[in-house]
Structure 1
Amino acid sequence: MSQATLGDDEELFGEAANEMREDVESSLEAAWAALPDADDVWETDADNVLGALNGLNSALEVGDAEDHLRDAKKWFTMGQRADAFDDADDLEAEIEDLEDAITDIAEAGEQVGELTSTIPALRGTLQDAGPADDESADATDDEEDEE
């Protein structure tokens, strides 16, 4: 193998490493963009609690963020194993931050989902709680009359 070929290989490897880093960065950017907007999680137009919870549950969908994160991790891992990155600490930190954000959103979605199924049952329990409307009122009136 000639010296020129080795030089070309180094140049090609450098280009591939740059492209791999760009792929990781692009996937991370797409993942962040796929996450819910903060205002969508915070604001609501709902008329009641269940409506607010349903809206929040919908807003807490991570969409394609998990797929983009997977792509970023795939290219990052390949680049790291190939020792293609001079400094990959920033990419690794951003991947961890994104994983944490996705985990937090997914956990919040689970909690909201639980509330969404609990609140209607709680409302029914509260509506059924206490004395029955007519019969209890009549019994209370009769007791008062006897005294």
Structure 2
Amino acid sequence: MSQSTLGDDELFGEAAAEMRADVETHLDEARSSLPDADDVWNADANNVLGVLNGLRSSLDVEGAAEHVRQAKKWFVIGQRAEAFDDPDDLEDAIEELEELIEMVEDAHELVGELTNTMPQLRGALTEAAEAAESEDDEEEEEEE
């Protein structure tokens, strides 16, 4: 084996180790960028709209999604280059985080819809109550 080939193999091994470290770092950053479970569960607000706005804010996963994207990008390159000895653990971690982020994004969307719906619902219920009260007043006046 020539000196050049040995050097290339060593460089490839170093690059593969660095690539794996980059993937793992992005996965760690993604995990740390996820919402805190207590922030999602606990609420400190005076009304439903305040709770929903707080929840919607706590369900922001853009940072985590970007880190997963970067991890996946480097993983795909390393996998295609057959640079990883055991890529299964990285692939599983990426898939797990993608599923979790999708779940949080779905919840964010649902909370956003509720945040938009609740003021409309309150207005409609107020109008209905006022209409019912007005009808009751008219009936009382007719009875007198």
**TMscore range, shorter length:** over 0.9
Q: Deviations over 1:33-83 (max 9, x none)?
A: 111111110011111000000000000000311211111011101100110
> Structure 2 length normalisation: TM-score?
0.93
Query: Aligned in 2, Cα 1:57/1:131: closer, same or farther, shift over 3 Å?
Result: closer
Superposition deviation, residue 134 in structure 1: 6.7
Superposition deviation, residue 136 in structure 1: 2.9
**What corresponds to 2:118 in structure 1?**
119
Query: Aligned in 2, Cα 1:83/1:65: closer, same or farther, shift over 3 Å?
Result: same
Aligned pair count reads: 144
Write the distance in 2 (CA, Å) between the matches of 1:58 and 1:120: 18
Q: Deviations over 1:88-126 (max 9, x none)?
A: 000000000111111111110000000001001101111
Kindly report the root-mean-square deviation, in angstroms, between the aligned alpha carbons of the 2 structures: 1.6
Unaligned stretches of 5+ residues in structure 1: none
Superposition deviation, residue 3 in structure 1: 1.4
**What corresponds to 1:15 in structure 2?**
14
Write the distance in 2 (CA, Å) between the matches of 1:18 and 1:71: 16
Write the distance in 2 (CA, Å) between the matches of 1:134 and 1:16: 75
**What corresponds to 2:51 in structure 1?**
52
> Structure 1 length normalisation: TM-score?
0.91
Write the distance in 2 (CA, Å) between the matches of 1:129 and 1:55: 29
**What corresponds to 2:26 in structure 1?**
27
4-13 vs 135-144, greater mean Cα deviation: 135-144
**What corresponds to 2:108 in structure 1?**
109
Identity %: 56
